[in-house]
Amino acid sequence: MKFVDEATIDIAAGHGGAGCVSFRREKFIPFGGPNGGDGGRGGSVWAVADRNINTLIDYRYARRHDARNGEPGRGSDQFGAAGPDIELRMPVGTIIRNAETDETMVELLEHGQKTLLAKGGDGGFGNLHFKTSTNRSPRQKTPGWPGEAFKLQLELRVLADVGLLGMPNAGKSTFIAAISNARPKIADYPFTTLHPNLGVVRIGPERSFVVADIPGLIEGASEGAGLGHQFLRHLQRTRLLLHIVDAAPFDEGVDPVVQARAIVAELKKYDPALHAKPRWLVFNKLDMVPVDEREKRVKDYVRRLRWKGPVFAISALAREGMKPLLDAIYEHVAQFQREPPPPDQRFEAMDV
C-alpha cells in the first residue's frame, strides 16, 4: 500500500431545512390555524480515530466530503427530517488543521476519539411558531441556517515509543525485523526503505513498545535532500531515539563518526525539540568486525564522538547483543506509557 501522510480536503456540513407555511384545512373546521412544521437540522461532519487505518491515502483521492441538508418542514405539524451525519475515519496520530488559518483544530491521539469538525445548520421555524393571540394566521417562516464549511490540512504523525535514526544502509530495517513482526524490505543498497514502518516489540507478558523506522537520512536532509526529511515528523512523538551506526561500512573511506555527526546536525536544523530528545548510540553489524577488534573499534568511535549517553553494540542480523538493549529500552519507555505527555513536551538535550 502506498504510504500517504499528508492530504488536503474540503468538508461541508448540511444546511438546515426551511420552515413551512401551512394552515389546517379540514371540513367543518374553517379556522384550523397554522400547522407548518420546522425544517430539519443539517448533517454534521465528524472525525473518528481508527487504529486499523495506517495512512491518509483515502483522502488523497476523495477530497470533497459533504453532509446532506435537512429536509424542509411540511404541513400537519410535520417537522423535516435531519440530515445524517458523516464520519471521516482517520489514523491515530492525525493532526487536523484549518488550511486557511493554519490553526490546529484537533489531534487524534486515541482509538475511537470522535471530534466535531463542521456543525450542521439548524432548521428554520415554520409558521406554527409565530401564532399569537393577535396573529392567528401568521405567514412568517425562516429559512434554515447554513452549515459550516472548511478546507482542512491533514498531517499524520505516527505514534511510536522509539524512533530509529541512521544513514541509509545502516541496518535499521534489519533491526526492526529482528525485534518485531514488521517485515520491511531489506537489501544491500541504500534507500531500501521508502516509507515509515511500525513494529510492536514484545519482550514479555504485558511488556511491549512500538518502534518506528523511517527512511535513512543524508547530509542536507533538513533542506530536502533524500527521503528521510519527508518523514522526520514521525519521530516527534517518540520517547527515545536510537541512533543506528554502521560499525563496518563497505566503503573503507566512509567514517562512521562523520556520518553520526551529520545526522545530529540535520536533526538540530530540522527541529531543536527533536534534537533534544533522549538519543542512544547503537553500533550495528558487529558480525562483520573481527571479534578481537570489536571492543577497541567501539571505544574509538565513542571517544571521537565525545558521546556521554548510553552505548550499545549489536548485530541485528546475527541477533547478538539484542536482549540488553531491548530491556533497557523498555525500562526507559515504560515510565511514559501510562500517562502520555502533551504534544509540545520537551526533553533535556544530550550533547554530542
* 214-263 pLDDT, tens digit each: 765 555 544 544 444 556 766 777 888 888 888 877 777 778 888 888 88
pLDDT at 183 over 80: no
Topology of domain 6-156 in CATH is Spo0b-associated Gtp-binding Protein; Chain: A, (2.70.210)
Percent of the chain with pLDDT over 90: 22
DSSP letter for 23, please.
Answer: B
Q: What integer is the mean pLDDT of 274-293?
A: 84
Domain regions of the chain by residue span:
6-156, 162-337
Q: What is the pTM of this model?
A: 0.68
pLDDT tens digits, residue range 289-328?
888 888 888 888 888 888 888 888 888 888 888 888 888 8
Q: Which fold has domain 162-337?
A: Rossmann fold (3.40.50)
In this structure, the dihedral spanned by the alpha carbons of residues 300, 302, 306 and 308, taken in order and rounded to 10 degrees, is -150
